Structure 1
């Protein structure tokens, strides 16, 4: 309603009263689609803000203005100061004209083409928003054809005594919008004909009465003439048109912030729900397939019984099990016979421990899933912004702007899932390595890097005690670190690993370079093992 022609007519009247005889000392912008007009005032300075943003167009008075250190721009500085002589509105069209000593300023409300024109009597000086010259000249010609009048000169007398429908009324008065007809107490109840008296009362209320702001049942804030009663909650009354717009703007940006926060919370919870459901499914499938601890233990016992047949460097060995069936057992060629035997017994212990852990995880994931669903329901129904902020704080969600510009580091990493459970992150370049290690990794996470050669930083996410991470998972993470290094083509590669809290970056180190306060070393084959699956598209 704040962009209706009748309401803009009232705005022009209030501007006429406030601005005539005063002096414009500048036009500035520091926000996209917003232009500020500074007025010289004997007491406090006066400002008017024009918004050409298609999502929220408005013209309002501001009490203060603070110049930004960046993105600030002045317009037509050679023309100031400019004494204001008059403010008018086009007859039947949403164009407000400010006449000064040397130029004219036009505020044209045209949806996504809303703009501000600066002209002399016969020349277009420029526009606030960029416009192709051909279109600008055409609009300038249209402006010169308009008849501009003061608000008090507005005469909107119906040509007929009655109109048979809203469409017939709109054909004569296009600004009688669906909303206006719906909320007008004189028109909304008209079942058949719309009489002259109802139309004139509606127009008079816009031109002469105070305004109120209501919140409708669907949570929309509207400006209406004060004596218009409607369903909803009355929030403010006794307002001028400019005061009403100023308050509406506050509600708009408050609602926008609240909506952004709610959507951020919902998006976060939906991601967590998806991850939890995937993890729950993976763990349930592992439990269904059963534990391999007995298989590993029997293999270790079989190797122990045939210890005399094993030598270092063997990749596999053919043996006969207890039933006399021939079987092939895979061996690690860099291990001694004893180390290969111990490796299978260690796998059995890890598998046994992991299987019991998975039973706990299933219960925990189910509880977590139920809690997330509850929080989703809660966040969708919350209307109090402070409660949304408390929920965001509870979830540790930070409403921060993402880095922008060409110098902003790429915060996406290569991401893998080991054994359908353990998350592994791999840096993509030197700067990305620093972001991964210094800003993304937690102090308890395990950090990997191929020794003595350039390569990616690799981080294994640790949610509990790192000592509970199976040795096979550590080997897999190390193999990935070797794969993403200059040792990629080597047969075997030493890889250093430690907790992230022991990784430091000293003053003067170039991007990607760090020092380790403590480390362990493991020798692995550079590869992406079969139990390590990519889970995002950032693998380039």
Structure 2
């Protein structure tokens, strides 16, 4: 199900019960198009996520961890000025449209009461979060500024009068009472073979997404009378009074979510505590991936370019090596030309002579017509000597380039398996290694590396996981005790994992190994080999790249990583 007006109806009811009357204690903007209001209500802090992300626009309470940027965006500074310590008076949905309005009561610098609206428009690429002064109906600020050139219907800029988007036509599913004539008209349109039932229902009712309309059309397939039509439709809307969050698969095998079980979905999963909990489950991995790539897009592009450049360099060096291995042919030709120097023609282009290294078989040798016979022989010796020298030099270059490529591929893998909050550390590392250009601001500031993420094993033992090379070095070389257990996937890029115990149980070692495999390039693999050894056996060579260590005396365990275990060990915090 898309986050349409029908789903927002259910979400609004859920949020009203949890948040109305609460106090906004913190305002954050972890990502460019998303804000989080931490609302204190019923003696509990609820992180309310308001997202204007084009693909993931929604409003929900979230438990997915997030990290704030080191420099707060302008929009969140405005929200903090007006909303921190303000009261959330009410949450309302505009008709059955995809617009959620938060009525907020605050006080200005003089202590006078002021009423504000935080309006969340959940409309795909046109989604927005807008702060409006209720008294003047003026926009104070918004998460996306839209110029008149992009939207001529209304101006979405600070200081402009707020104008609602054009409302959809049609009946409101949860408040409009249809007349007998309305039901008859709807039945006629549904039975007309020229019409598509899904389109008819979307035009008839306000705020229906395609999947909601498809579900209702599925239930109305065999309807033949007005009485039957009214009964099924009324019953369908009534089901939304008792929400049952569901995730299932549509006819194309794609995962969808809904506020109630849908007959048009298969392999349905229910049992979620709330719509918000269901959305965390549904969006968790995808949302994190999209946010991460949004933050890291320029960095990844540069990283991919450098990786490709090193791959091309390796191919060229390999060709040079192949030519160097054939250098003996040039030496043999030079010796043959020297032996039969008196037989070489002046200004000739080639000569055929007996090869005394191959049973006197004739060998045709190319000559440069502008060179003397002696210089032609010398040319082959010069080429031979260059090739032999290159063999040693090029082999060193290949080893250096391969090490650089392995390092870059490891960083690339860390971006893929990491989280949005880890991107900044990876950016700093690439700047230190010269892959990215260091900003003037970064040159002046001392960079603080985020700490490794902490998990807890089933028996309560602390397990630390580094998400990038800088965290790995900090964790293994500075934070870990010599008697702690260190784990890492065997012969592949991944996280350093530390069990903060000198005698962990076999079950704890297995759980830590699964974390090491999950936060590595082998996340989607089975039977992943993971080495483990005490930290005192770890050594970092001088001049080695960040995250690179060597070790001896390790043992190896084979595990299959699962996301469920990662979630379980996180929740034990």
Given the two structures, how large is their TM-score scaled by the length of structure 2?
0.48
The structural deviation recorded for 1:83 is: 1.9
Task: Say which of 192, 208, 211 aligns to 2:245.
Answer: 211
The 8 Å contact of residues 296 and 347 in structure 1, kept in 2 or not, is answered as no
What is aligned with 2:118?
A: 105
The structural deviation recorded for 1:233 is: 2.9
Task: Say which of 138, 150, 172 aligns to 1:124.
Answer: 138
Residue correspondence of structure 1 range 60-209 to structure 2 within 5 A:
60-63=60-63, 68=68, 70-72=70-72, 73-74=76-77, 75-78=79-82, 80-101=84-105, 102-118=115-131, 119-129=133-143, 130-132=145-147, 135-136=155-156, 140-143=161-164, 154-155=175-176, 157=178, 159-161=182-184, 162=187, 163-164=189-190, 165=195, 166=197, 167-184=199-216, 186-187=218-219, 189=221, 195-209=229-243
CA gap 1:306/1:193 in 2 versus in 1, 3 angstroms: farther
Secondary structure of 2:38's partner?
Answer: strand
The 8 Å contact of residues 28 and 36 in structure 2, kept in 1 or not, is answered as yes
The structural deviation recorded for 1:327 is: 4.8
What is aligned with 1:299?
A: 337
What is aligned with 2:371?
A: 329
Aligned equivalents of 1:397 and 1:196: distance in 2?
A: 57
The structural deviation recorded for 1:407 is: 7.4
The 8 Å contact of residues 211 and 225 in structure 1, kept in 2 or not, is answered as yes
Aligned equivalents of 1:94 and 1:83: distance in 2?
A: 23
Q: Do residues 59 (structure 1) and 82 (structure 2) align?
A: no
Q: Rg larger in 1 or in 2?
A: 1
Where do 5+ consecutive residues of structure 2 fail to align? Answer: 106-114, 149-153, 354-366, 391-406, 416-422, 437-541, 545-573
Residue correspondence of structure 1 range 200-349 to structure 2 within 5 A:
200-216=234-250, 218=252, 220-253=254-287, 295-302=333-340, 327-329=369-371, 344-345=380-381, 347=383
The structural deviation recorded for 1:256 is: 5.5
Aligned equivalents of 2:116 and 2:36: distance in 1?
A: 17
What is aligned with 1:21?
A: 21
The 8 Å contact of residues 47 and 61 in structure 1, kept in 2 or not, is answered as yes
Aligned equivalents of 1:49 and 1:116: distance in 2?
A: 11
Aligned equivalents of 2:126 and 2:260: distance in 1?
A: 31
What is aligned with 1:467?
A: none
The 8 Å contact of residues 335 and 377 in structure 2, kept in 1 or not, is answered as no
What is aligned with 1:416?
A: none
The 8 Å contact of residues 30 and 69 in structure 2, kept in 1 or not, is answered as no
CA gap 1:141/1:298 in 2 versus in 1, 3 angstroms: same
The structural deviation recorded for 1:278 is: 9.4
Aligned equivalents of 1:65 and 1:122: distance in 2?
A: 37
CA gap 1:132/1:343 in 2 versus in 1, 3 angstroms: closer
The 8 Å contact of residues 35 and 51 in structure 1, kept in 2 or not, is answered as yes
What is the root-mean-square deviation of aligned Cα atoms in Å?
Answer: 5.9
The structural deviation recorded for 1:408 is: 8.1
Aligned length: 362
Residue correspondence of structure 1 range 351-500 to structure 2 within 5 A:
398-400=413-415, 403=427, 411=435
Given the two structures, how large is their TM-score scaled by the length of structure 1?
0.51
Secondary structure of 1:209's partner?
Answer: coil
Deviation track 1:503-524 (CA, whole Å, cap 9, x = no partner) reads 999xxxxxxxxxxxxxxxxxxx
The structural deviation recorded for 1:271 is: 9.8
CA gap 1:146/1:405 in 2 versus in 1, 3 angstroms: farther
Deviation track 1:21-61 (CA, whole Å, cap 9, x = no partner) reads 21123432131101111212453322201110112111110
CA gap 1:70/1:351 in 2 versus in 1, 3 angstroms: closer
The 8 Å contact of residues 52 and 58 in structure 1, kept in 2 or not, is answered as yes
Aligned equivalents of 1:276 and 1:198: distance in 2?
A: 67
Aligned equivalents of 1:19 and 1:64: distance in 2?
A: 18
